[in-house]
Amino acid sequence: MQLHKRDVVAAATSLLDDYGLADLSMRRLARELQVSPGALYWHFANKQQLLGAVADHVLAPVGRPSGDWPSRIGALCRQVRDALLSHTDGAELVSASFAAAESTVMADVVGQLTDAAAEAGVPATNAELTARTVVYYVLGFTVDEQSRRQWDAAGADLPDASLLTDDQDTRFDFGVRLLIDGILARREQRV
């Protein structure tokens, strides 16, 4: 039967979860789907674009939270982090796809955060920069968290994972609040 984009993305996601980003190659994916490597290039221009589609699939649970601007920022940050932690190397994948501008969901997240920053009173020229600063934090924090998590999971007597998880939630929120307080301080002085 015919190969569809969504089948390719689904197979790629399962390879990601089972073997990690380093072992997610075009050739291996083709083998899994029982097609020739070239077939993938009918559906995707290149590997980066395919990974962008996988990133957007990972980010599918991220929504459009409502409320005042600080709680919207908080909710969005938590939703992105949770989505990344749900897949092996999810943070690394999304981080790379964001840098390559291949994730439409991350572009939308930046849009939502830009609106929140504008609502907070950040000058229009700096609202998107403010949004990106929040994204850099979420991605940086989660890449780090996930690499430690996965390193612990492989070997090493893990010292009660649940306690550390609570700790990481608290630490993550600390950074989000630091950013929100920074935004508050950088509002336009309107006399």
Partner DNA sequence: ACCTGAACACCGTTCAAGT
Q: Binders of DNA: how many residues, by CB under 7 A?
A: 19
Per CB under 8 A, which region of 12-20, 26-34, 108-116, 175-183 contacts its own copies?
Answer: 175-183
User: How many alpha carbons lie under 13 Å from residue 189 in its C-beta half-sphere?
Assistant: 0
For residue 100, the minimal CB distance to DNA (Å) is 11
Rounded to 5°, the CA angle 15-31-49 comes to 60
| Residue 122 exposed, middle or buried by CB count within 10 Å (0-12, 13-18, 19+) | buried
- Residue 38 contacts DNA per CB under 7 A: yes
Place of tokens 């999304």: 94
Q: Of 43, 57, 149, 186, which lies in the binding site for its own copies, with binding defined by CB under 8 A?
A: 186
- The Cα 173–Cα 151 span in angstroms is 23
99 near DNA, judged by CB under 7 A: no
CA angle, residues 82, 26, 6, in degrees to nearest 5: 55
Per-residue mark of binding to its own copies, 113-142 (x: CB under 8 A) = -------------x--xx-xx-xxx-xxx-
Question: Is-contact 116 67, C-beta < 8 A?
Answer: no
CB of 163 to DNA, least distance (A): 34
Q: How many CB atoms within 10 Å of residue 61?
A: 11
Work out whether 184 is an interface residue with its own copies (CB under 8 A): yes
- Minimum gap (Å) between residue 64 Cβ and DNA: 32
- Partner that binds at residue 46, options its own copies, DNA, none, CB closer than 5 to 8 Å by kind: DNA
- State which of positions 82-111 bind its own copies (CB under 8 A): 92, 99
